[in-house]
């Protein structure tokens, strides 16, 4: 099954993606993670993306579309995949339709105050990309790979607001785009991660 997780930054896409990935044994493709790895490795894509990501703006469509198109040629996606953070614009969604077929789009619907609180207390494992929250996880190290957790450069109060505005302007139009295709399902992203996942599981079983 090919799944898109749609939702504002901090809505819990990464957390829910790892749960689905484990359950269905299909990979998560997070464009944010791929771009951050490219920045770390100083690749051409990384150098071109750095300013956009730090300001909370979207990386240009053609760069992101090409990276997803290429990623989807790898054999591990043959039984399905989860897209986390892509598409983020109607142009990206139209491009995706030209090279892959999506079965379900799950919108994680979350209020801004919840998003801000989650992002400001988010810690990320730089190795396996697992996401933690300081409210519920008290260690500074990843429970799986033991790496020291980091705060993403774009997880600060100023950028959160920018990213949310960009979401409303560029990404929220995808809700109607997919609703019109009859592929959109909505879950309540204000709940705890395991409660959200219960809703997602019901959708995946439909």
Catalytic positions? 13, 88, 122, 152, 163
- Closer of 73 and 205 to ligand AMP (Cβ): 73
Q: For the chain, what is the HEC assignment? A: CEEEEECCCCCCHHHHHHHHHHHHCCCEEEHHHHHHHHHHCCCHHHHHHHHHHHHCCCCCHHHHHHHHHHHCCCHHHCCCEEEECCCCCHHHHHHHHHHCCCCEEEEEECCHHHHHHHHHCEEECCCCCCEEECCCCCCCECCCCCCECECCCCCCHHHHHHHHHHHHHHHCHHHHHHHCCCCEEEEECCCCHHHHHHHHHHHHHC
- In the complex, what is the shortest distance from the CB of residue 205 to ligand AMP, in angstroms, rounded to a whole number? 27
Write phi, then psi, for 106 (nearest 5 degrees).
-110, 120
- In the complex, what is the shortest distance from the CB of residue 120 to ligand AMP, in angstroms, rounded to a whole number? 14
- Closer of 67 and 200 to ligand AMP (Cβ): 67
Q: Which residues pair with 3 in a beta bridge?
A: 82, 104
- In the complex, what is the shortest distance from the CB of residue 96 to ligand AMP, in angstroms, rounded to a whole number? 10
- In the complex, what is the shortest distance from the CB of residue 143 to ligand AMP, in angstroms, rounded to a whole number? 21
- In the complex, what is the shortest distance from the CB of residue 173 to ligand AMP, in angstroms, rounded to a whole number? 14
- Closer of 98 and 206 to ligand AMP (Cβ): 98
List interacting residues with ligand AMP (CB under 6 A). 9, 31-32, 35, 52-53, 56-59, 64, 85-86, 88, 92, 154, 163
Write phi, then psi, for 51 (nearest 5 degrees).
-65, -40
Residue found by looking up tokens 């703006």 in the block: 57
Cα–Cα distance measured from residue 123 to residue 155, given in angstroms and rounded to the nearest whole number:
9
- Closer of 70 and 202 to ligand AMP (Cβ): 70
Residue nearest to ligand AMP (CB): 32
């Amino acid at each position: 099954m090919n799944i898109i997780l749609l939702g504002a930054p901090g809505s819990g896409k990464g957390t829910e993606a790892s749960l689905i990935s484990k359950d269905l044994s299909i990979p998560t493709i997070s464009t944010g993670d791929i771009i951050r790895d490219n920045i770390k490795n100083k690749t051409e894509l990384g150098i071109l993306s750095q300013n956009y990501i730090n300001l909370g703006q979207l990386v240009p469509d053609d760069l992101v579309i090409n990276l997803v198109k290429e990623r989807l040629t790898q054999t591990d996606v043959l039984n399905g995949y989860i897209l986390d953070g892509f598409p983020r614009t109607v142009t990206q969604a139209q491009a995706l339709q030209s090279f892959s077929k999506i079965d379900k789009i799950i919108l994680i619907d979350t209020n801004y105050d919840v998003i801000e609180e989650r992002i400001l207390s988010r810690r990320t494992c730089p190795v396996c990309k697992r996401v933690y929250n300081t409210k519920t996880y008290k260690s500074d190290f990843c429970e799986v790979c033991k790496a020291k957790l980091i705060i993403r450069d774009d997880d600060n109060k100023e950028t959160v607001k920018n990213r949310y505005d960009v979401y409303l302007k560029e990404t929220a139009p995808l809700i109607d785009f997919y609703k019109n295709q009859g592929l959109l399902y909505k879950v309540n992203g204000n709940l705890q991660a395991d409660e959200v996942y219960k809703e997602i599981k019901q959708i995946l079983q439909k």
